Protein backbone atom coordinates (compact mmCIF):
# COMPACT_ATOMS: atom_id res chain seq x y z
CA UNK A 1 0.00 0.00 0.00
CA UNK A 2 0.99 3.59 -0.53
CA UNK A 3 1.88 5.49 2.66
CA UNK A 4 -0.08 8.70 3.50
CA UNK A 5 1.54 11.81 2.25
CA UNK A 6 3.86 9.93 -0.07
CA UNK A 7 4.29 11.13 -3.58
CA UNK A 8 2.46 8.89 -6.05
CA UNK A 9 4.96 6.84 -7.93
CA UNK A 10 5.44 7.58 -11.60
CA UNK A 11 5.06 5.04 -14.35
CA UNK A 12 7.25 2.06 -13.78
CA UNK A 13 8.48 3.30 -10.40
CA UNK A 14 8.76 1.05 -7.39
CA UNK A 15 6.02 1.27 -4.71
CA UNK A 16 7.06 0.90 -1.12
CA UNK A 17 4.26 -0.25 1.21
CA UNK A 18 6.67 -1.19 3.97
CA UNK A 19 10.39 -1.07 4.53
CA UNK A 20 10.74 -4.73 3.55
CA UNK A 21 8.27 -4.85 0.67
CA UNK A 22 9.18 -4.19 -2.93
CA UNK A 23 6.75 -4.39 -5.87
CA UNK A 24 6.48 -3.22 -9.45
CA UNK A 25 3.63 -1.28 -10.99
CA UNK A 26 2.97 -3.62 -13.96
CA UNK A 27 0.51 -1.15 -15.47
CA UNK A 28 3.32 1.01 -16.74
CA UNK A 29 6.29 -1.34 -17.10
CA UNK A 30 6.85 -2.19 -20.74
CA UNK A 31 6.81 -5.92 -21.42
CA UNK A 32 10.07 -7.47 -22.69
CA UNK A 33 9.93 -8.28 -26.35
CA UNK A 34 12.87 -10.42 -27.59
CA UNK A 35 14.53 -9.10 -30.71
CA UNK A 36 15.32 -11.67 -33.42
CA UNK A 37 18.48 -10.73 -35.30
CA UNK A 38 18.56 -11.46 -39.00
CA UNK A 39 21.18 -14.05 -39.85
CA UNK A 40 22.95 -14.02 -43.17
CA UNK A 41 22.53 -17.13 -45.30
CA UNK A 42 25.87 -18.87 -45.66
CA UNK A 43 26.48 -19.88 -49.26
CA UNK A 44 29.06 -22.66 -49.64
CA UNK A 45 32.15 -21.38 -51.34
CA UNK A 46 32.64 -23.00 -54.67
CA UNK A 47 36.11 -24.18 -55.51
CA UNK A 48 38.06 -22.51 -58.24
CA UNK A 49 37.18 -23.87 -61.65
CA UNK A 50 39.84 -25.97 -63.31
CA UNK A 51 42.07 -23.92 -65.53
CA UNK A 52 42.63 -26.74 -68.01
CA UNK A 53 40.58 -29.02 -70.23
CA UNK A 54 40.48 -32.51 -68.74
CA UNK A 55 39.83 -34.10 -72.14
CA UNK A 56 42.89 -32.47 -73.67
CA UNK A 57 44.99 -33.33 -70.62
CA UNK A 58 43.87 -36.96 -70.79
CA UNK A 59 44.67 -37.14 -74.51
CA UNK A 60 48.16 -35.80 -73.75
CA UNK A 61 48.62 -38.41 -71.02
CA UNK A 62 47.55 -41.12 -73.45
CA UNK A 63 50.31 -40.01 -75.82
CA UNK A 64 52.93 -40.36 -73.08
CA UNK A 65 51.69 -43.79 -71.98
CA UNK A 66 51.51 -44.95 -75.59
CA UNK A 67 55.08 -43.85 -76.27
CA UNK A 68 56.67 -45.07 -73.03
CA UNK A 69 54.33 -47.65 -71.51
CA UNK A 70 52.94 -47.45 -67.99
CA UNK A 71 56.14 -47.83 -66.02
CA UNK A 72 58.23 -45.86 -68.48
CA UNK A 73 56.03 -42.76 -68.11
CA UNK A 74 57.13 -40.64 -65.15
CA UNK A 75 54.87 -38.19 -63.34
CA UNK A 76 57.09 -35.33 -64.45
CA UNK A 77 56.71 -36.33 -68.10
CA UNK A 78 52.96 -36.74 -67.69
CA UNK A 79 52.38 -33.38 -66.00
CA UNK A 80 54.62 -31.60 -68.50
CA UNK A 81 52.73 -33.08 -71.46
CA UNK A 82 49.37 -32.40 -69.81
CA UNK A 83 50.33 -28.84 -68.90
CA UNK A 84 49.27 -29.22 -65.27
CA UNK A 85 50.86 -29.56 -61.83
CA UNK A 86 51.02 -32.78 -59.82
CA UNK A 87 48.34 -31.58 -57.35
CA UNK A 88 46.04 -30.82 -60.30
CA UNK A 89 46.68 -34.29 -61.73
CA UNK A 90 45.78 -35.93 -58.44
CA UNK A 91 42.69 -33.76 -58.00
CA UNK A 92 41.35 -34.42 -61.50
CA UNK A 93 42.44 -37.99 -62.20
CA UNK A 94 43.56 -39.58 -58.93
CA UNK A 95 46.92 -41.33 -58.92
CA UNK A 96 49.02 -42.51 -61.85
CA UNK A 97 47.26 -45.87 -61.97
CA UNK A 98 43.84 -44.23 -62.15
CA UNK A 99 45.08 -41.89 -64.85
CA UNK A 100 46.33 -44.82 -66.91
CA UNK A 101 42.97 -46.59 -66.67
CA UNK A 102 41.21 -43.47 -67.92
CA UNK A 103 43.74 -43.17 -70.74
CA UNK A 104 43.15 -46.84 -71.59
CA UNK A 105 39.39 -46.16 -71.76
CA UNK A 106 40.07 -43.32 -74.18
CA UNK A 107 42.41 -45.51 -76.24
CA UNK A 108 39.82 -48.27 -76.59
CA UNK A 109 37.08 -45.79 -77.47
CA UNK A 110 39.00 -43.82 -80.09
CA UNK A 111 41.67 -46.20 -81.38
CA UNK A 112 40.10 -49.65 -81.19
CA UNK A 113 36.67 -48.91 -82.62
CA UNK A 114 37.67 -50.92 -85.71
CA UNK A 115 37.28 -54.13 -83.69
CA UNK A 116 33.54 -53.74 -83.36
CA UNK A 117 33.26 -52.94 -87.06
CA UNK A 118 35.33 -56.01 -87.93
CA UNK A 119 33.01 -58.29 -85.95
CA UNK A 120 30.07 -57.00 -87.98
CA UNK A 121 31.57 -58.22 -91.29
CA UNK A 122 29.54 -60.96 -93.05
CA UNK A 123 32.26 -63.63 -93.31
CA UNK A 124 35.05 -64.90 -91.05
CA UNK A 125 37.69 -63.97 -93.61
CA UNK A 126 36.25 -60.46 -93.89
CA UNK A 127 36.35 -60.21 -90.10
CA UNK A 128 40.01 -61.21 -90.11
CA UNK A 129 40.95 -58.79 -92.89
CA UNK A 130 39.13 -55.84 -91.31
CA UNK A 131 40.74 -56.62 -87.96
CA UNK A 132 44.26 -56.86 -89.39
CA UNK A 133 43.99 -53.76 -91.56
CA UNK A 134 42.43 -51.80 -88.72
CA UNK A 135 45.33 -52.79 -86.51
CA UNK A 136 47.74 -51.74 -89.26
CA UNK A 137 46.19 -48.27 -89.48
CA UNK A 138 46.26 -47.92 -85.71
CA UNK A 139 49.85 -49.06 -85.34
CA UNK A 140 51.35 -47.09 -88.21
CA UNK A 141 49.37 -43.84 -88.08
CA UNK A 142 51.56 -40.78 -88.57
CA UNK A 143 49.38 -38.90 -86.07
CA UNK A 144 49.91 -41.36 -83.22
CA UNK A 145 52.67 -43.38 -81.64
CA UNK A 146 53.57 -46.73 -83.13
CA UNK A 147 52.61 -50.05 -81.62
CA UNK A 148 49.71 -51.01 -79.38
CA UNK A 149 49.25 -49.44 -75.96
CA UNK A 150 47.90 -52.67 -74.48
CA UNK A 151 50.76 -54.78 -75.78
CA UNK A 152 53.38 -52.21 -74.77
CA UNK A 153 52.05 -51.86 -71.23
CA UNK A 154 51.40 -55.55 -70.58
CA UNK A 155 54.89 -56.54 -71.71
CA UNK A 156 56.73 -53.72 -69.92
CA UNK A 157 55.13 -54.05 -66.47
CA UNK A 158 57.19 -55.24 -63.52
CA UNK A 159 55.99 -56.57 -60.17
CA UNK A 160 55.08 -53.12 -58.84
CA UNK A 161 52.69 -52.59 -61.75
CA UNK A 162 51.21 -56.09 -61.78
CA UNK A 163 47.69 -54.69 -61.29
CA UNK A 164 48.06 -52.68 -64.50
CA UNK A 165 49.23 -55.75 -66.41
CA UNK A 166 46.25 -57.69 -65.09
CA UNK A 167 43.91 -54.88 -66.13
CA UNK A 168 45.29 -54.83 -69.66
CA UNK A 169 45.12 -58.61 -69.97
CA UNK A 170 41.56 -58.68 -68.61
CA UNK A 171 40.42 -56.17 -71.22
CA UNK A 172 42.17 -58.15 -73.93
CA UNK A 173 40.41 -61.30 -72.73
CA UNK A 174 37.02 -59.66 -73.19
CA UNK A 175 37.86 -58.71 -76.77
CA UNK A 176 39.13 -62.25 -77.37
CA UNK A 177 35.84 -63.73 -76.13
CA UNK A 178 33.90 -61.58 -78.58
CA UNK A 179 36.09 -62.76 -81.43
CA UNK A 180 35.72 -66.41 -80.41
CA UNK A 181 31.94 -66.03 -80.39
CA UNK A 182 32.09 -64.56 -83.89
CA UNK A 183 34.20 -67.48 -85.14
CA UNK A 184 31.83 -69.98 -83.50
CA UNK A 185 28.98 -68.36 -85.39
CA UNK A 186 30.96 -68.54 -88.62
CA UNK A 187 31.55 -72.25 -88.08
CA UNK A 188 27.87 -72.85 -87.29
CA UNK A 189 26.91 -71.04 -90.49
CA UNK A 190 29.29 -73.19 -92.53
CA UNK A 191 31.64 -70.28 -93.20
CA UNK A 192 34.61 -72.13 -91.61
CA UNK A 193 35.64 -75.75 -92.24
CA UNK A 194 34.50 -78.32 -89.67
CA UNK A 195 38.06 -79.09 -88.53
CA UNK A 196 38.77 -75.46 -87.56
CA UNK A 197 38.58 -74.71 -83.86
CA UNK A 198 37.16 -71.19 -83.15
CA UNK A 199 39.49 -70.63 -80.19
CA UNK A 200 42.55 -71.67 -82.18
CA UNK A 201 41.75 -69.45 -85.17
CA UNK A 202 41.13 -66.56 -82.76
CA UNK A 203 44.50 -67.19 -81.09
CA UNK A 204 46.08 -67.14 -84.55
CA UNK A 205 44.56 -63.73 -85.30
CA UNK A 206 45.60 -62.31 -81.94
CA UNK A 207 49.15 -63.54 -82.47
CA UNK A 208 49.31 -61.75 -85.82
CA UNK A 209 47.91 -58.49 -84.39
CA UNK A 210 50.27 -58.55 -81.40
CA UNK A 211 53.21 -59.45 -83.60
CA UNK A 212 52.42 -56.49 -85.84
CA UNK A 213 52.32 -54.22 -82.79
CA UNK A 214 55.74 -55.38 -81.61
CA UNK A 215 57.25 -55.01 -85.08
CA UNK A 216 55.67 -51.58 -85.58
CA UNK A 217 57.13 -50.45 -82.27
CA UNK A 218 60.51 -51.74 -83.41
CA UNK A 219 60.35 -49.68 -86.59
CA UNK A 220 58.87 -52.03 -89.20
CA UNK A 221 57.59 -50.21 -92.27
CA UNK A 222 53.97 -50.15 -93.35
CA UNK A 223 54.87 -52.11 -96.49
CA UNK A 224 56.45 -54.87 -94.40
CA UNK A 225 53.37 -55.15 -92.21
CA UNK A 226 51.07 -55.18 -95.22
CA UNK A 227 52.94 -58.21 -96.58
CA UNK A 228 52.40 -59.91 -93.24
CA UNK A 229 48.66 -59.28 -93.54
CA UNK A 230 48.53 -60.58 -97.10
CA UNK A 231 50.38 -63.77 -96.12
CA UNK A 232 48.05 -64.33 -93.17
CA UNK A 233 44.99 -63.98 -95.40
CA UNK A 234 46.47 -66.38 -97.99
CA UNK A 235 46.55 -69.16 -95.40
CA UNK A 236 43.12 -68.35 -93.97
CA UNK A 237 41.01 -71.55 -93.93
CA UNK A 238 38.07 -71.66 -96.29
CA UNK A 239 35.71 -74.37 -97.52
CATH label of the domain that carries residue 78: 1.10.10.60
Query: CA 119 to CA 130: how far, in whole Å?
Result: 8
Number of domains the chain contains:
2
Mark whether 95 and 159 lie in a shared domain: no
The CATH number linked to 180 is 1.10.357.10
Tens-level pLDDT at each residue, the chain (239 residues)? 444 455 555 554 444 444 444 444 434 444 433 433 333 333 443 444 456 788 899 999 988 988 888 888 899 999 999 999 999 999 999 999 999 999 988 888 888 888 999 999 999 999 999 999 999 988 887 665 555 565 555 555 566 677 888 888 888 888 899 999 999 999 999 999 999 999 999 999 999 998 998 888 788 899 999 999 999 999 999 87
Largest CA distance in the chain: 136
Print the domain residue range for 78. Answer: 53-102
Same domain for 87 and 138: no
Has residue 32 been placed in a domain?
A: no
Is 8 a domain residue?
no
Cβ neighbors of 63 (< 8 A, separation 6 or more) are 81, 144, 145
> What is the full DSSP assignment across 9-29?
P-TTPEE-SSTT--EE-TTTS
Global pTM? 0.67
Amino acid sequence: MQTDGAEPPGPGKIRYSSPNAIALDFRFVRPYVPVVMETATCTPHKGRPREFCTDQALAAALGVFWAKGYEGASLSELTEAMGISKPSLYAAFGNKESLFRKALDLYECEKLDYIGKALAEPTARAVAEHLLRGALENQTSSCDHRGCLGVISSMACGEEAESIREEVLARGAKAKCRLIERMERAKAEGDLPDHIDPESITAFLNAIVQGMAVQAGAGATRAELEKLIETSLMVWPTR
